[in-house]
Amino acid sequence: MQDQNHDNANNDSSDYVAPKEGAEIIDAFFASRPLFITQHHIDSYDEFLDTRLLTIIRSMNPLVMVREDPGPPSHTYTVSMYIGGDSKIRPDHGVHLSETNYSPNSARTKDLTYGVEVTADVHLIFQRDGQIVGTSEFSKVPMGFLPVMLHSRICMLRDKKPSELRSLGECPYDQGGYFVIDGREKVVVTQEERVGNRLYVRASEKGDDNIVLKAFIRCFSKDTKDVFPRTSVFRVHTNNEITMTITHLDGRIPLTCIFRALGVESDKEILDMITSNDDERSFLRTSLVRGGQDRGLQPIHRHSVLGAAYTLSYPPGS
């Protein structure tokens, strides 16, 4: 027992850090990361400037304007506008940020917003009856005004020495990571989000009397142009019917409508794509039958093309 205690004492002493040595480690940490409290905010904002800003603007391309000329002879005129360029059409075009011409402290004292002007290159393609008849380009067209996060890469306080920060009216110990809007300091509160492309299921809430289960999924595409997630909501009703709510589509759409709109025509093909479990197939078969009979949840089921496409081919004779 004494030997064991002696060994434990030796192990504890090997992990012991002297007060002076510990202080040196802490000082080294603060020296290497002077913005240790807000660095994650600043890194996120810099990443937005480097990649996300241009991606978001390009995701709207092209903006198309169409005019019909009844004639005679009739013609269709189309103008396609590409803002910030495109990966295939003028990839050299982009988004530009102006330089800040006043300090954050000046913005505080004068009730201004500390930010920069955002401009973009614009490329226009003119078509008549589907044929290109001309193009036009504009450089650095004003797009808007972007607030600047203090100590970000486009902030004039970036990498300044303590003496320089004092000369600009700033506290050298200020961590930054916030904005100055109309003279007031504003901070963006970080929020946690659920992982994308994963299905979450929960029991029905109060007020959903005819719903047993509800599930949702936020879909993110690998395509860099698709920067906004799309949320799909699934509902299992008390009559065993499964309906969906999809972004940009109104109403609750039966699950069978979605599959048939994607080209999966028969109920057997739908079941085969979902599961091979006999119990689950039995439950889903009831949902398929209900989807063909009970169309009263929303008017869209009765009047749309998808609602009229219900055809039951499995099991045979049903």
Model pLDDT, residue 33: 80
Does some domain include residue 1?
Answer: no
How is 132-199 classified by DSSP, letter by letter?
EEEEEEEEEEEEEEEE--TTSTTSTTTT--HHHHHHTT--TT-----EEETTEEE-PPP---PPSS--
Model pLDDT, residue 68: 92
- 61 shares its domain with 96: yes
Does some domain include residue 285?
Answer: yes
Question: Mean pLDDT over residues 56-73, rounded?
Answer: 89
CATH of the domain at 269: 3.90.1110.10
- 210 shares its domain with 182: no
User: For a pLDDT cut of 90, what percent of the chain falls above it?
Assistant: 38
DSSP type of residue 98: P
Instruction: Please check the confidence at residue 312 and state whether its pLDDT lies above 70.
Output: no
- 60 shares its domain with 157: yes
- 266 shares its domain with 288: yes
How far is the CA of 33 from the CAs of 19, 46, 56, 103, in angstroms? 21, 16, 31, 23
Does some domain include residue 33?
Answer: no
Instruction: Please check the confidence at residue 128 and state whether its pLDDT lies above 50.
Output: yes
- 181 shares its domain with 206: no
Model pLDDT, residue 313: 34
Q: Would you say the C-alpha torsion 38, 41, 46, 49 has a positive or negative sign?
A: negative
- With contact defined as beta carbons under 8 Å apart, do 182 and 112 qualify? yes
Instruction: Please check the confidence at residue 316 and state whether its pLDDT lies above 50.
Output: no
pLDDT-derived band at 12 (thresholds 50, 70, 90) equals: low
Model pLDDT, residue 16: 53
Read off φ and ψ for residue 192, nearest 5 degrees: -85, 140
- 157 shares its domain with 274: no
Instruction: Please check the confidence at residue 176 and state whether its pLDDT lies above 90.
Output: yes
Model pLDDT, residue 89: 82
- Residue listed under structure tokens 């119990």: 279
- 154 shares its domain with 273: no
Q: Per the structure block, which two tokens stand in for 42?
A: 């600043």
Name the packing angle between helices 267-274 and 278-293 (round to 10°). Answer: 140
Q: Per the structure block, which two tokens stand in for 110?
A: 């004068």
- 232 shares its domain with 180: no
Model pLDDT, residue 3: 52
Instruction: Please check the confidence at residue 167 and state whether its pLDDT lies above 90.
Output: yes
Instruction: Please check the confidence at residue 294 and state whether its pLDDT lies above 50.
Output: no
Does some domain include residue 9?
Answer: no
- 142 shares its domain with 223: no
Note the pLDDT tens digit of each residue in 212-243. 899 988 887 766 556 677 788 988 888 888 88
How far, in Å, CA of 186 to CA of 196, rounded? Answer: 29
Question: Mean pLDDT over residues 291-302, rounded?
Answer: 43
Burial status of residue 126 (CB atoms within 10 A of its CB: 0-12, 13-18, 19 or more): middle
Does some domain include residue 141?
Answer: yes
How far, in Å, CA of 270 to CA of 314, rounded? Answer: 10
> Domain range holding 217?
200-309
Question: Mean pLDDT over residues 71-80, rounded?
Answer: 91
Domain count, the chain: 2
Asked which of 186, 215, 249 is the last residue of a domain, the reply is 186
How many beta carbons lie within 10 A of that of residue 239, not counting itself?
Answer: 14
Q: Would you say the C-alpha torsion 130, 94, 115, 117 has a positive or negative sign?
A: negative
Does some domain include residue 256?
Answer: yes
pLDDT-derived band at 291 (thresholds 50, 70, 90) equals: low
Q: Across all residues in the chain, what is the average pLDDT? A: 81
